[in-house]
Amino acid sequence: MQENPFLSLITNTPFVTKILVSLILLTSLSLYLEIVSSYQLMLTFNINQCYRLITSLLYFGQLNFDTILHIIFMFRYSKMLEESYVYTSDYLYFLICVIFMIYLCAFVFNIVILGPILSSVITYVWTRKNPYAQLQLFGFIIFPAFYLPFVIPLFSYLSERRILKGEIVGIFIGHVYYFFKFVFPTFGVDIFKTPVFLKKMFGEYVNEEKRDIVNEESLIEEEKNSENELLDDKNDINIEEETRNEENNLKSKEEKIRNISEKEEPRRRNSY
């Protein structure tokens, strides 16, 4: 029996991305059915309504081509980015860190719709981790993944005749996160390291301890194997030397026999 592709897609989608995209679709559907208004979803710091901190991240604006494109990119690149992380807690902590940076930028630049910013950050980080991946747009435009974050503002301009401030902010936040997570740690400092309590929440801290033990055991095993290989190499060298010595001894004996036979040959002739 052939598996339903929709169910297969849901099953193969990682946990955090599945929850995030489900909430985005639910928010978009509620807006489309006029269950809620767009104003109720926007971020407003002047009103004591904490739920807007969440809804503003799930809201991408009125349904149009640009909004649909952002939601598709959000699903696609969030899925691939989460799959690139070893642990779910690492990806969740990535989202927590960038969301706090989004709130800060939203306050400074007075941005009320945060969904496109989150989508831009996720897309940017994935493209920086996979800069040479070849992407297709509309099935015939092929370009390196590195340029994708800059293609999205171009489509925004073509569809709305303006570039959204949030998309530029998303690229900036994505670059800041990428630098301090994947470049700066080479100097010995990782400011975006996932906290232990978050790993314990997902039961992944124990896995790390087990992984360290396994790594130590594998290193010990590798050392033993290398020592055995060295011993085998030494034995092979000794065997080769013994074989070479035997060959030399045999050659020297043959040479002596040849010399003796050469000396005896004239005597035999004289005797005849």
Residue type, 2: Q
What residues contact residue 100 under an 8 Å CB cut-off, 6+ apart?
Answer: none
Q: pLDDT-derived band of residue 157, with 50, 70 and 90 as boundaries? A: confident
Domain residue ranges in the chain: 5-195, 204-272
Are the C-beta atoms of residues 77 and 94 closer than 8 Å to each other?
Answer: no
Of 1.20.1540, 3.80.10, 2.40.50, 1.10.10, the CATH number of 5-195 is: 1.20.1540
pLDDT-above-90 percentage for the chain: 33
Are the C-beta atoms of residues 186 and 177 closer than 8 Å to each other?
Answer: no
Q: If you ran DSSP here, which 8-state letter would residue 181 be given?
A: I
Are the C-beta atoms of residues 149 and 127 closer than 8 Å to each other?
Answer: yes
What residues contact residue 120 under an 8 Å CB cut-off, 6+ apart?
Answer: 149, 152, 166, 167, 169, 170, 171, 173, 174
pTM summary value: 0.72
Give the bridge partners for 269, in sequence order: none
Name the residue among 141, 93, 145, 95 with its Cα closest to residue 121.
Answer: 95
- pLDDT for residue 70: 77
Q: pLDDT-derived band of residue 268, with 50, 70 and 90 as boundaries? A: low
Look at strands 134-137 and 141-144 and give their pairing: antiparallel
Whether residue 241 has pLDDT greater than 80? no
Angle between helices 65-84 and 88-109 (to 10 degrees): 140
Instruction: List pLDDT tens digits, range 169-222.
Output: 999 999 999 999 999 888 888 899 999 899 888 888 765 555 555 455 555 666
Q: pLDDT-derived band of residue 254, with 50, 70 and 90 as boundaries? A: low
Q: If you ran DSSP here, which 8-state letter would residue 50 be given?
A: T
Instruction: List pLDDT tens digits, range 19-74.
Output: 999 999 899 889 888 899 988 899 988 777 888 999 999 998 777 777 787 788 88
What residues contact residue 8 under an 8 Å CB cut-off, 6+ apart?
Answer: none
